[in-house]
C-alpha cells in the first residue's frame, strides 16, 4: 500500500508506478553527480530502489521532485538523487520530501543511513544527519565521469540503418 502526503497544493508519494522516468532522467543526466547517465541506467536504478516523488498542483499534477533510497530494508540505507525542479524550489518541498522518506515504515530501525552532498548539508542536518564521525573508517571506489565515458563508448540510441551519418 503506497503512502501519500499533501504539502500545500503538492503531494508526496512513494508509488513506483507514478515515477516519471523521462523527467527523472532529464534532471539526473544534467546533475553534477550523475552527468551523462543514460535513461536505461536510471530505469535500472529506479527499479532496484525505493523511490519517492513530489507531484505538482492539479490538474496537470506532473512530477516536480524526486528522491531515491538504496537499501536492504533491514540494516542500511543510502539516500540519493534528491532534487526539486527549479520553478518549485523555496516552498519547503525538499524538507517535506526528506521527512517523508525518513518516515517510511520500511526504513525504521536501520543501523546506518548515509548520503553524500556537495552543499546541502544544512538541509539534512535538521533531520539528524551529521558528517561522518570517523572518515578514516570509510573507503570507496569512485569513478567520477563514468556515465560520460560510457556514453562515448556506447551510444544510447544506436543509429538505425538508413540514418544519415552523424
Ligand atoms: C537542494 C534542493 C533539493 C532544495 O529544494 P527546495 O524544495 O527548494 O528546498 P526547501 O524549500 O525545502 O528548503 C531547503 C532548506 O535547506 C536549506 N539548504 C541547505 N543547503 C541547501 C542547498 N544546497 N540548496 C538549497 N537549500 C539548502 C535551505 O536554506 C532551506 O532551509 P530554510 O527552510 O531554513 O530556509 C534544490 O535546491 C535542488 O533540487 N537543488 C539541485 C539538486 C541538488 O543539489 N540536490 C541535493 C543533492 S544532495
Closest-lying ligand 1 atom to the alpha carbon of residue 89: 8
pLDDT digits (tens, 9 = 90+) for 55-89: 998 788 899 999 999 999 999 999 999 999 999 99
What pLDDT is stored for residue 116 in this prediction? Answer: 98
What pLDDT is stored for residue 154 in this prediction? Answer: 54
- Taking the C-alpha atoms of residue 84 and residue 88, their distance in angstroms, rounded to an integer, is 7
Q: What is the DSSP letter of 32?
A: S
126 and 87 Cβ atoms separated by less than 8 Å: no
Q: Find the mean pLDDT for residues 51-58.
A: 94
pLDDT digits (tens, 9 = 90+) for 81-136: 999 999 999 999 999 999 999 999 999 999 999 999 999 999 999 999 999 999 99
Angle ∠(89,118,149) on CA atoms, nearest 5:
105
| Three-class secondary structure of residue 7 per DSSP | strand
The protein residue with its alpha carbon nearest to ligand 1, atom 15, reads: 123
User: Domains plus CATH for the chain?
Assistant: 4-153 (3.40.630.30)
Q: Which residues, judged by CB distance below 6 Å to any ligand atom, belong to the binding site of ligand 1?
A: 82-84, 89-95, 117, 119-120, 122-123
- The chain-wide mean pLDDT, for the chain, equals 93
Crossing angle for the helix pair 39-47 and 21-28, nearest 10 degrees? 120
Expressed in angstroms and rounded, the spacing between residue 138 Cα and the centre of ligand 1 is: 26
What pLDDT is stored for residue 160 in this prediction? Answer: 52
Instruction: Determine if the pTM surpasses 0.85.
Output: yes
The protein residue with its alpha carbon nearest to ligand 1, atom 5, reads: 94
What pLDDT is stored for residue 104 in this prediction? Answer: 98
What pLDDT is stored for residue 155 in this prediction? Answer: 53
Q: Find the mean pLDDT for residues 132-157.
A: 85
Amino acid at each position: 500500500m503506497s503512502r501519500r502526503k499533501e504539502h500545500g497544493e503538492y503531494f508526496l508519494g512513494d508509488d513506483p508506478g507514478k515515477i516519471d522516468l523521462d523527467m527523472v532522467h532529464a534532471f539526473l543526466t544534467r546533475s553534477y553527480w550523475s552527468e551523462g547517465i543514460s535513461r536505461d541506467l536510471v530505469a535500472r536504478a529506479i527499479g532496484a530502489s525505493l523511490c519517492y516523488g513530489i507531484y505538482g498542483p492539479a490538474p496537470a499534477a506532473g512530477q516536480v521532485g524526486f528522491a531515491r533510497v538504496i537499501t536492504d530494508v533491514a540494516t542500511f540505507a543510502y539516500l540519493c538523487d534528491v532534487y526539486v525542479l527549479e520553478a518549485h524550489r523555496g516552498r519547503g518541498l525538499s524538507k517535506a520530501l526528506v521527512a517523508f522518506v525518513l518516515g517510511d515504515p520500511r526504513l525504521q530501525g536501520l543501523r546506518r543511513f548515509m548520503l553524500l552532498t556537495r552543499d546541502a548539508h544544512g538541509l539534512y542536518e535538521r533531520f539528524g544527519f551529521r558528517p561522518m564521525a570517523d572518515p578514516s573508517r570509510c573507503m570507496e571506489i569512485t569513478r567520477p565521469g563514468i556515465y560520460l565515458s560510457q556514453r562515448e563508448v556506447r551510444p544510447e540510441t544506436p543509429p538505425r540503418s538508413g540514418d544519415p551519418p552523424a
